[in-house]
Amino acid sequence: MKEQGIAVETLKNETRLRSKKANAACELPICLLVVILLIGFPFIDLLFISARFALLSYACAEAARAAAAAPSFVANEDDSLSAVNKSNEVLKKYLENFSGIEIISNSTEVLSCPLKPGEAYSLRSSPFSPSELRQDVVYQYRVTSEAKLEPLINFNGVLFGSIQGLTEPLRVSCVSQRVCEKPETLVK
């Protein structure tokens, strides 16, 4: 039996194979998808985590600068001009317009750095008495912020397991110090 000049028996018995170029063209989209999922998106997450950490670091530095210029260290809780309240206010102001950064804790302390060799540094979160202030010590405000940085794309699944910054928020700590401009304000 012949149809349009081609024998039907010959068509049924022939097997057609794709060329190597055609196989590569068919497999390329699948390979690209795997490469993008396994390599591309984690790098994008790393980029966003890095940008969020840079923003947290800048906000922490600005909070330390504001604390160093404050007229008192720890006044009553209503005093918005104290170094502790000022640093908290500045940190919140810088981070309130950005998503993906959750502040866990923030502390403002005074680091006493003696100029004499061999003396130990001390960290203090309460005001000094006037007799405790010394001329041979440099006083610095130290602002420490702990935060959780969210990845842009949260990969929840069995493929990656539990990786901070990829499948769950990355917990970081940022510290910034500034020299106290007026050490006499540390007694208030």
Mean pLDDT to the nearest integer, 126-145 = 89
pLDDT digits (tens, 9 = 90+) for 46-70: 899 999 999 999 999 999 999 999 8
Looking at the chain, the whole-number percentage of residues with pLDDT higher than 70 is 85
Domain boundaries, the chain: 19-187
Per the prediction, the chain carries an average pLDDT of: 84
Question: Which pTM value belongs to this model?
Answer: 0.76
DSSP per-residue string spanning the chain = -EETTEEHHHHHH------HHHHHHHHHHHHHHHHIIIIIHHHHHHHHHHHHHHHHHHHHHHHHHHHHT-SBSS--TT-TTBHHHHHHHHHHHHHTT-SSEEEEEEEEEEEEEESSTTPPPEEESSPPPGGG--TTEEEEEEEEEEEEE--SS---STTT-S-BTTTBPEEEEEEEEEE-S-GGGGG-
Kindly indicate the confidence band of residue 7, based on its pLDDT and cuts at 50, 70 and 90: low
Give pLDDT tens digits for 65-112.
Answer: 999 998 888 866 666 688 899 999 999 999 998 989 999 999 999 999
Query: pLDDT confidence of 162, banded at 50, 70, 90?
Result: confident
pLDDT in the model for residue 159: 67
- pLDDT category, 5, cuts 50, 70, 90? low
How does pLDDT run across 140-155, given as a tens digit for each residue? Answer: 999 999 999 998 877 7
